[in-house]
Amino acid sequence: MKEYSFNYDVHIFDTDCYGVVWHGSYTKWLEMGRVNLFKTLDVDMKQMSDEHDIIFPVTEQNIRFKSPARFGDVLRLTTWARLDSPKIIFFQEVRDLHSEKLIVEARTDIVMINSQGKMYRRFPEVLQEKLKNL
């Protein structure tokens, strides 16, 4: 199973007035993990949109907040995925880099549509070979 991880230093702008990471900050980091996992598979989302008319909207997202992260923490976000045609299901964890404490766990479902909003019922051919490594 292919996975992608990155470390992130929590900045003051990621937090609320108490220095605790604001819940909306995680959504941005989760997106970064999904996009970068795609990049490791040689799937460039902009190229897919511009050249192949394939767009990847989120259809469902569930985030469980297990423990607070704070300004100054270093977090490690790990992403992996499973194909469930016609969708891709991403699973993600955010852990404190030093203690390995689980901060967040998430599941995000995406589908593929064209620019007119029509959903692809099967993975487009241009993606089939690239996605088989998930």
CATH number for position 108: 3.10.129.10
In sequence order, what are the residues at sequence separation of 6 or more whose Cβ sits closer than 8 angstroms to the Cβ of residue 23?
A: 63, 65
| Enclosing domain of residue 61 | 3-131
pLDDT along the chain (134 residues), means of 10: 94 95 96 96 94 97 98 97 94 98 98 96 90 84
In sequence order, what are the residues at sequence separation of 6 or more whose Cβ sits closer than 8 angstroms to the Cβ of residue 94?
A: 26, 29, 69, 75, 76, 77, 102, 103, 104, 105, 106
Q: Tokens for 29?
A: 């980091």
Could you identify the residue written with the tokens 């766990």?
105
What total number of domains does the chain contain?
1
3-state secondary structure of 126: helix
pLDDT for 105: 98
pLDDT for 85: 87
User: Does pTM top 0.85 for this prediction?
Assistant: yes
